[in-house]
Structure 1
């Protein structure tokens, strides 16, 4: 048995260990600061020794390096705090003097992400070894007296976003391998004498309203393709700069401010010219001499008056976009288009009168967009003559009237929009022959007749909008199923459709249930990679407000709107199969029965409108599971019971639940019977739980000093009254 002194010593040692372990644990919890790796420190030190002193020691960062110290603290060095790897080397203005050798120790810094050696005298070529630094994001070598050809190994720097080679004397061709730099955001080559470059695309570089020296392109005399669209620069682009590029065939400079002189002459045989959104106020006269011109985009400018007749005498003109010329829009007469025309867009102008019959003679026409004008009369009865060539026919928002003739349908149609006109009669059944049809919008006309069930045979139909017409009758075919496997937007609101929807009505609507979107190659075939900017749009009701879908939104939204009709019967249970549906609007009908609890399976639903029906029963509490459901409306029904208390439902305005005599509970002012008793019971239960927690805290507070006092008293007894304590211990024993 250990002696009393030994036991006392053990107690004191344990206390000491405990007291010391606390700060040790705290210290260990802090992350360790990594120091520079020895191999990278040695590489940096060797790199320093490769250059001769320039006599400007005060400005040379390398002169302040100390060999036996942590290189992460050296001037110009940045290390990764997690790994200690050298990530940045900034020797800007250090006046390095000597050539950059191919076996330089610099290229051993494999983790380097940023390298700046600007304003050094590296007189010589840029070695191929630069391609070894494959993690580089930023490479700045401006004003380094480098010369010769650019190494093809630059194409290995696939993470590069910023490359500045300004102020050097590079010559020769720009390496083809630089096409691999698909993350490059900034490229500066000014003062270089590179030749042989054929293709240069700098479109959508965000210069942040900075200044661009466009004179750089004077040296690139071999260019055949140049795209400088939407640079976001405040610099004015003088079109005369490009008169020296004798081989240029593609010039796209949309989205910039242009200076076009009246005597401008571009001698190169330009075939594709994009001048959209350039604040042009008059038709450029130099175009009259561009006899090789095939593609012309002069949309979204401020050109007024008439389209010059000489434009249509250009022999090879195939693509023309004159749309959206602000308030100074093109007016009559409508241009006499050449037979070579393939794509013609004149939307958002002030053309009026009937659509000229001469269009029927354009047997190469593939896309015709005349939306948002003042055209009147009927649709020409000749588009079927184009057979499979006419793929886009957009005539929306005019004043066209009469029936939609069968002869106006080309079997190659991909997109048809005649919305917001005064067309009447039935939809032309010749649409059934359009096996590539994807988009149909006939909104806001006076079409009548029954639902076009025959559209279900079209394998690629994705968007069907019949909104605001006079269609009537049932929505279910007398025989067969109503399956639209590719449909993404189905809007038949504001019509006179009636009857009940069978329980399995939405079975087979695969695109709205699978969530897998696959682009149809036929769309590329007919829209074309170069001519894909035709405008299509749909206005939908989402979250109680109108919303216009444009561009990529068509690939995101999946909606069903059957509101403002005369449907009756129960809501089809198969609606819950549409797990990818985002917007569901079944308001303003006569639906009866209960709200299906299975709606909780529609996990992507964001907007649900079941208002103004005759629905009864309770609001299913399962709807609380719909985490994305941001807007819902159950008003003007016959619902009853307490409104579910989930966050998504309780965040709604009370107007979403009004005029349901049996509904009660928040957010309505009406309380449910027994609700107050339940509220009181919950409050009492919470008070009891709070009392128990408080009692535990008090006990814990009392226990800690009690133990402490006991230990102190025991220590005093053991230390100063050992004999007395031993006697008491023996008596107890």
Structure 2
């Protein structure tokens, strides 16, 4: 036996054509103890029969496959998982290992037809061929299930052509992501010893759950991401040992049976993204072991089941995107609670166990009243979303800053909610906050308690009542700020733009006066339309490193388009410009022909200005230009001088109205 193993070891480097380095090193170390003259039964990865001294087990995951291996005909246990056998087939020599009870060839890069000799391994109890690229002949698969009558564990990612002859001793069947299609026979669910059945990620597999005669020992059932349909039968309540039930992303309909409450062993329940409907039965009182529950994206209606809030082991609960209602919005003592996009109304109840809650999402409901003070005792809360409700009242900043672990906050679209300062705001902050959304509320001024929030990345204060100027003091401290939205307020000036590395700056629809402010160099999107800016567009705009969109329309800017646009070096980013919108200003002069260098330009809107020029037919060389608006200017002359060079190959919209041009545009120039 030792000579066969040493021969196997010596051919290891020739056998492995590809294997991840970490696994390869692990397998080499595993064979360090394989030395001639020593007892092979003491070698790592080798298991021997204590009475006869035969090698009966070999654990060489991510080792090699070599002919010397098949001389070990007393092997009972062989694990070669994690190899990569260079897209080779399963050797027919496996038929020699007649004593095998355990064979694991998963994730080995094997391809082609499964060798029919596998069916000779009649002693097999466990067979794992998963994560490969294998196929069964119909006859060979029938022979496999006919001969291997002791099989308890089968993991395949190949298409078996018949399920009806599966051995009755089968305990574990995994056929995830096997490209199964057609109707799955319900008889498989009747196998008397079946404990685990995994059919997930077979989107063309049709089937339904049986009404009777379930395999009572079933512990795991996963048919998610299939075409399983009809309803969840009442007989599901007979599965007393079921711990995992995965039915997500199927086409189940009808109602949830009250028998669901009989599954007292359940720890994981996911029926999301189906078409279940009606009232959810209030049967969760006995599911004390349940830790994960997802009922989202269905058509449930009626009153939310109160007993779901009493599950002490629950860490994640999602009932979002349904039509559920409650008179009082209870907030359970769970780590994650998601009830967004329902019809929850009434006030929010007090939270009894604040130390447990981590995430709360009650957005897009009809919740009324004030945010209870108990919310600000959730010391471990990391994310809170109460946006798009009917919340009201005055929220004090000194209460909010008690949430020291909060990194995400969204209270937007609560028009009757306001946020006011406390006297001690100067020394208060939310140290972990990265996203702060307070759009469409009643904020009157900048939240000063955010000034020391070094981790802040996104700040949205749009559509509020903020007046005055962004002062230099208010703009300091946000070194990591990437997105700032202050649109639809009443700002009149900008002393300093917050953040040194902003990507998005939205100052639309304010009352900003004076010249166009120079934004940070890393800006991607600069939106400052519908203000009262005056003066020329500064040439510094061409120094922006990654500018994609510049929208300064509906201001009072004058002068000409800067010469630098389109005449930049390779390092300057206006070459990446996708949208240039200067509509509704007082721009004069002509259009720079250097704009043809803006290769990625998709939208050019120069309408409602004072530009005096002939039609810029040379813009037709821009391969991505989709929208061209030149209306209400002084364009003149004949537009018949188009040539085949200027094709406007991507143009979908053009507006030349209220100009002095003559002629017509050939319809072939427009890509509809």
Question: TM-score, normalised on structure 1?
Answer: 0.57
Does residue 275 (structure 1) correspond to residue 271 (structure 2)? The answer is: yes
Per the alignment, residue 41 of structure 2 pairs with none
Per the alignment, residue 148 of structure 2 pairs with 147
Does residue 468 (structure 1) correspond to residue 463 (structure 2)? The answer is: yes
User: Structure 1 regions of 5+ residues with no counterpart?
Assistant: 1-85, 90-97, 514-537, 542-556, 677-733
1:335 and 1:190 map into 2 onto residues whose CA distance is 41
Does residue 563 (structure 1) correspond to residue 529 (structure 2)? The answer is: yes
State the 1:330 CA deviation.
0.8
1:353–1:571 CA distance, 2 compared to 1 (3 A): farther
Matches within 5 A, 1:353-392: 353-356=346-349, 358-359=350-351, 362-387=354-379, 389-392=380-383
Judge conservation of contact 2:526–2:549 (CA < 8 Å) in 1.
yes
Q: Comparing both structures, which one devotes a greater share of its residues to strand?
A: 2
1:426 and 1:605 map into 2 onto residues whose CA distance is 40
2:213 and 2:525 map into 1 onto residues whose CA distance is 49
Q: Comparing both structures, which one devotes a greater share of its residues to helix?
A: 1
Does residue 254 (structure 1) correspond to residue 248 (structure 2)? The answer is: yes
State the 1:371 CA deviation.
2.0
1:294–1:166 CA distance, 2 compared to 1 (3 A): same
User: Structure 2 regions of 5+ residues with no counterpart?
Assistant: 1-86, 99-104, 510-522, 567-571, 640-653, 664-672
Per-residue Cα deviation, 1:437-481 (whole angstroms, up to 9, x for no partner): 23222222332225x587565444333322222223334525876
Matches within 5 A, 1:473-512: 473-475=468-470, 477-478=472-473, 485=480, 487=482, 489-499=483-493, 508-509=500-501
Does residue 658 (structure 1) correspond to residue 651 (structure 2)? The answer is: no
Per the alignment, residue 306 of structure 1 pairs with 303
SS of the residue corresponding to residue 273 of structure 1 reads strand
State the 1:419 CA deviation.
1.6
1:153 and 1:509 map into 2 onto residues whose CA distance is 54
Per the alignment, residue 720 of structure 1 pairs with none
Judge conservation of contact 1:100–1:126 (CA < 8 Å) in 2.
no
Per the alignment, residue 679 of structure 1 pairs with none
Matches within 5 A, 1:681-692: none
User: Paired residue for 1:613, among 585, 596, 599?
Assistant: 585
Per the alignment, residue 513 of structure 2 pairs with none
Per-residue Cα deviation, 1:616-673 (whole angstroms, up to 9, x for no partner): 454444443444432332223344445642234995556x222334688866368899
Does residue 404 (structure 1) correspond to residue 359 (structure 2)? The answer is: no
State the 1:281 CA deviation.
0.7
Per the alignment, residue 607 of structure 2 pairs with 635
State the 1:412 CA deviation.
1.9
Judge conservation of contact 2:281–2:305 (CA < 8 Å) in 1.
no
Per the alignment, residue 341 of structure 2 pairs with 348
Does residue 414 (structure 1) correspond to residue 412 (structure 2)? The answer is: no
Judge conservation of contact 1:194–1:220 (CA < 8 Å) in 2.
no
Per the alignment, residue 553 of structure 2 pairs with 587
1:392–1:500 CA distance, 2 compared to 1 (3 A): closer
Question: TM-score, normalised on structure 2?
Answer: 0.61
Judge conservation of contact 2:442–2:465 (CA < 8 Å) in 1.
yes
1:377 and 1:248 map into 2 onto residues whose CA distance is 41
User: Paired residue for 2:386, among 371, 395, 399?
Assistant: 395
Does residue 115 (structure 1) correspond to residue 146 (structure 2)? The answer is: no
2:308 and 2:180 map into 1 onto residues whose CA distance is 37
1:470–1:512 CA distance, 2 compared to 1 (3 A): closer
1:507 and 1:663 map into 2 onto residues whose CA distance is 44
Matches within 5 A, 1:30-109: 101=95
1:446 and 1:379 map into 2 onto residues whose CA distance is 15
Judge conservation of contact 1:495–1:565 (CA < 8 Å) in 2.
no
Aligned length: 515
Judge conservation of contact 1:115–1:140 (CA < 8 Å) in 2.
yes
Matches within 5 A, 1:276-295: 276=272, 277-295=274-292
2:112 and 2:236 map into 1 onto residues whose CA distance is 34
Does residue 321 (structure 1) correspond to residue 321 (structure 2)? The answer is: no
Matches within 5 A, 1:229-244: 229-233=224-228, 235-240=229-234, 242-243=236-237
Higher Cα Rg, which structure: 1
